[in-house]
Structure 1
Amino acid sequence: MTETLSIVIPVYKSSKSLSKLVEKLEDVCSTLPYNYEVIFINDSPYHTATNDALNRLVKEHKNVVHIRLTKNFGQQPATLCGLNHAKGDYILTMDDDLQHHPEDIEKLLALKTHDVVIAKFPKKKHNIFKNIGSKIKGLFDHWILGKPKHIKLSSYRLMSRSIAEKILSIKTPYPFIPALLFSVTDDIVNVEVSHHSRDEGRSSYTFFKLLKLFSNLIINNSSILLRVIGYLGFSSAFISVVFAIVILIKRFTQEYVLQGWTSLILSVLFFGGLTLFALGVIGEYLIRIVGTAESRPVYFVRQISRGED
């Protein structure tokens, strides 16, 4: 029985690159011993050019699926939507801008005996600020997710259907695909592929979107901030005890003079600020705990169009 490959592609305000992408995918997949489907998740449902391009592709290509969401939910929820609707024995995720070349799919499939195969790029075609940010995030991925240092992350990845099902079984209001992958398996490998310049427009990841993604990594996928608060609290308590001992010693060994107003104010400000910071972090955790308890879906589908319809 022929196995099936599902190719999941979140789309955000793209139109010109999509037709070329489908053509390249057809050229590659026609040479592979798999049935295949290309699932586009439209995360910009009210962008006319994107809607028109995807509707046209559905009419022209029988293997194309267009899933239109009700609003912009972000790349991570859109990817989960694609995983949930994929029918393949193997599921491949990639971007919509041709920075991930379809010609490299065969390299990922060559390692399909592993649970997850992630494309690694020797040199990324990003600006210097995004490359620096990527390196910093890589350090946090290692500290927080337990990612081995030799493993590089990207959205160009192949996973088995069983791994996708395990990921989908984890209910979180702030999903982060790499964290979900590392929570279900250690059998993750890299394969080196080339990274290309964007075929259209610029990245949709603004500074604030990257900051939100980073906060999801820090808060939703680790307890690192709670631990930091614990360490700060312990350190503050220790400093307070030392300071109190010093004051007492000076009180009994020196002539007492009413002084210390500055140190008193500084102490109040320091410990008051530390308390407010701790309350803010704890509040953020409580907000996300409430979101998880509500079991609120991370995306909603408006319409699904298939090539065979």
Structure 2
Amino acid sequence: MLLSVIVPCFNEEKSLPYFFAEMAKIEEVLPLDVEYILIDDGSTDKTLKLMKELSVKSGGKVHYFSFSRNFGKEAAIYAGLQNAKGDYVTLMDADLQDPPQLLVEMYDLLVAHDLDSVATRRKNRAGEPKLRSLFARLFYYLMNKIGETELVSGVRDFRLMTRQMVDAVLQITEYNRFSKGIFSWVGFKTEYIAYENVARVAGKTSWSFWQLLKYSMDGIVNFSDLPLNIASFVGALSCFGSGIALIFIVVRALLFGDPTSGWPSMVSIFLFVGGLQLLCLGIIGKYIGKIFLETKKRPHYLVKESDKNRP
């Protein structure tokens, strides 16, 4: 039985040696053969050079795929899933924030309970900036309130899946991908392992606060149409309120004459209604933009270099 370990990498030259050192310990106790699928997502450091060295030394166990530019982690995950040949597949970060020692427990749980997937989630976000932690909790709360696909709070991409589940995920070929939602949407029997947050072993995270915020917004748009419903409701409410205000102004003019004062309030109303319109157009535009990208049917990624051509 073969386990495919998918590792998306962006400037991880400092982390990869630590990662493989830890995985070497796990391979000794894991009752599976292991292959590594390393995805270089347009790194600007020596990550690709290190991948090549690891591939040569591994004797065919380590495979690498280098993108022509940075396509993002979602594209890297998709590329890894497409090229993984294992009976079991796992996604892991190179910075050891996904503890390799959990793989043994995950495999035992998967086999003992006849599961399709064992996923991980963080118990807490110790060590993270408070603002980032606050927005992360808010994101999971909103997703579970407005979306039709449930997301476990603190869930990670780190999970162990059977080949059947991986094949199901690969059937979803949409360009705008949100893997956490896709893993949940396809269903299959999944259990979760909670663990304490782990700091990066080396290097710096490539995820800024604004990148995470954009990623969260993409997740909401991809798995919920509630923002469109909100836009429609706001538009209807604004129209109704404007109608009432118009009736009030006409009645007041008929009874008390047409005063010349009141232009500040009128300008304020115009600005308010205009702002609501722009908000609604922005929400609708976000969905239209997603549709536009889907209709282009561009590839999710382009491989510039690989250890070998694999279909």
Is TM (by shorter chain) over 0.5?
yes
Can you list the C-alpha shifts for 1:225-270, whole angstroms capped at 9, x where unaligned?
2112111111101211221232233234434433432232222222
User: For the structure 1 residues 144 and 164, does the alpha-carbon distance in structure 2 shift closer, same or farther, using more than 3 Å as the test?
Assistant: farther
Alignment CA distance shift 1:181-1:32 (3 Å): same
Partner deviation per Cα, 1:176-219 (whole Å, 9 max, x = no partner): 10111122116332112343221112211012321321231132
Does the CA contact (< 8 Å) of 2:98 and 2:158 recur in 1?
Answer: yes
SS across alignment from 2:101: helix
Corresponding pairs, count = 303
3-state SS in 2 of match to 1:105: helix
Moved more, 94-103 or 186-195: 186-195
Residue pair 2:149, 2:223 contacting (<8 A) in 1 also: no
Residues 12-23 of structure 1: pairs in structure 2 closer than 5 A: 12-23=10-21
Which residue does the alignment assign to 2:57? 60
Structure 1 residue 258 corresponds to structure 2 residue 256: no
Spell out the pairing of 1:181-260 with structure 2 (5 A cutoff): 181-185=183-187, 187-260=189-262
- Give the CA deviation at 1:48: 4.0
Q: Distance in 2 between matches of 1:93 and 1:54?
A: 17
What letter is aligned with 2:49? D
Name the counterpart of 1:80.
78
One-letter identity of the residue aligned with 1:167 = V
**Unaligned stretches of 5+ residues in structure 1:** none
Shift of 1:4: 1.5
> Which piece of structure 1 moves more, 172-181 or 252-261?
252-261
- AA aligned opposite 1:204: S
Task: Kindly indicate whether residue 118 of structure 2 is the aligned counterpart of residue 117 of structure 1.
Answer: yes
Q: How far is 1:137 from its partner?
A: 2.0
Greater shift, 179-188 or 10-19, is seen at 179-188
More moved, 153-162 vs 263-272: 263-272
Q: Say which SS state the counterpart of residue 107 (structure 1) adopts.
A: helix
Among 165, 168, 172, the residue aligned to 1:166: 168
- Which residue of 283, 286, 290 maps to 2:285? 283
Q: Answer whether contact 1:152 1:190 (CA < 8 A) is retained.
A: no
Measured in 2, the distance between the counterparts of 1:162 and 1:141 equals 26
- 1:160 and 1:99 map into 2 onto residues whose CA distance is 22
Q: RMSD over aligned Cα, in angstroms?
A: 2.1
- Give me the whole-angstrom Cα distance separating, in 2, the residues matched to 1:261 and 1:13: 57
CA distance in 2, matches of 1:149, 1:290: 27
Would the alpha carbon gap of residues 11 and 149 (structure 1) be closer, same or farther in structure 2, given more than 3 Å must change? closer
CA distance in 1, matches of 2:83, 2:8: 13
State the AA in 1 paired with 2:157. Answer: S
Distance change >3 Å, CA 214–CA 121, structure 1 → 2 = closer
Q: 1:14-163 residue pairs with structure 2 within 5 A? A: 14-45=12-43, 47-62=44-59, 63-112=61-110, 113-129=114-130, 130-146=132-148, 148=150, 152-163=154-165
Partner SS for 2:155: coil
Q: Given that residues 151 and 190 in structure 1 are in contact (C-alpha distance below 8 angstroms), is that contact kept between their aligned partners in structure 2? A: no
Deviation at 1:148, TM superposition (A): 4.4
Report percent identity of matched pairs: 26
Task: Measure how far apart 1:276 and its partner are.
Answer: 2.5
| Counterpart residue identity of residue 249, structure 2 | I
- Shift of the 145–53 alpha-carbon distance from structure 1 to 2, 3 Å rule, reads farther
Query: Equivalents in 2 of 1:149, 1:305: separation in Å?
Result: 36
Distance 1:266 1:122 in 2: 47
1:5 and 1:37 in contact (8 A); partners too = yes
| Equivalent-residue separation in structure 1 for 2:12 and 2:151 (angstroms) | 33
